Amino acid sequence: MKAAELFDLKGRVALVTGASSGLGLRFAEVLAANGASVALVARRADKLKAAREKIESAGGKALAVEADVLDRAQMVGAFEQAERAFGPVTILINNAGVAHSTRAVDLAAGEWNRVIRTNLDAVFFWAQEGARRMIEVKAKGAIVNIASVLGFGVSKGTVAYATAKAGVVQMTKALGNELASKGVRVNAIAPGWFVTDINRDYLTGAGAGLVRDIPVGRFGRDGDLDGALLLLVSDAGAYMAGTTVVVDGGQMVALRG
């Protein structure tokens, strides 16, 4: 089998949450470049428009859908808009996320709820909605949840974020277990540190020294998640379900020194 065939996504319809910037924008571009039509979901309309234009000018098919992942009616509307434009969604990338840096004793209830609702609750409800729709049309489906190395280890000031991401890892196992027999494969990617809007101030400031703990010797950059993404959504990953692929430059297995 040739690699291009194995990873080919022609005729597939993908929906990417959090596609207005960072990792989600890159995921959308990679899916489109490999043949999928892609619905780009996020709240910032201007960024979505720019993302759609970028994908289209590279020859891909994209649709911008303004929606808040916390709003269940907007969630249903997003799937419906994607279906009307391209047909049933068979690839869902559950990527939208937020972070915080407040230490546990100072974390306000509202901040805890914002992070847990976005990074954990919404991931479940979008996966549930996507899976129901894939099962209804008897499609071979793939759902990829974006977890984090903070779903396994912790650092200070990440209690809500790390709790949510650990939940995503477990949720991925549970959904993978329940849905694989119905034709829907659910897996996750756990990225290490990638400099994006979510952490730019920290990783280019006080956290810059974290790079010393990464065996590959640098933070992640555009392209480093392309292979894991394509593996999990394409026929190349046909026998993968419930697993989390860690892409972190070796950070998680390296003890200091």
Ligand X SMILES: NC(=O)c1ccc[n+]([C@@H]2O[C@H](COP(=O)([O-])OP(=O)(O)OC[C@H]3O[C@@H](n4cnc5c(N)ncnc54)[C@H](OP(=O)(O)O)[C@@H]3O)[C@@H](O)[C@H]2O)c1
Which residues of this chain interact with ligand X, rule CB under 6 A?
17-18, 20-24, 42-44, 47, 68-70, 95-98, 118, 146, 148, 191, 193-194, 196-199
CB of 148 to ligand X, least distance (A): 4
Nearer to ligand X, 20 or 139 (CB): 20
Q: Taking a C-beta distance cutoff of 8 angstroms, is the pair 158, 104 a contact?
A: no
Active site residue 161: yes
Nearer to ligand X, 39 or 139 (CB): 39
**What is the sign, positive or negative, of the torsion defined by CA atoms of 41, 75, 45, 146?**
negative
What tokens appear for 17 in the block? 């949450």
**CB of 16: closest distance to ligand X in angstroms?**
9
Tokens of 122: 């919404």
Minimum distance, C-beta of residue 257 to ligand X, in the bound complex (Å): 23
Closest approach, Cβ 222 to ligand X, in A, equals 11
Nearer to ligand X among residue 141 and residue 192 (C-beta): 192
Query: Amino acid identity of 34?
Result: N
Instruction: Count Cβ neighbours within 10 Å for each residue of 143-157 and write b for 16 or more, e otherwise.
Output: bbbbbbbbbbeeeeb
Instruction: Say how many residues make up the chain.
Output: 257
Backbone angles phi, psi at 252, to 5 degrees: -70, -25
Q: 27, 161, 193, 219: which one is catalytic?
A: 161
Contacts of 157 (CB under 8 A, 6+ apart): 100, 101, 102, 103
Q: Closer to ligand X at the Cβ: 141 or 191?
A: 191
Catalytic residues: 161
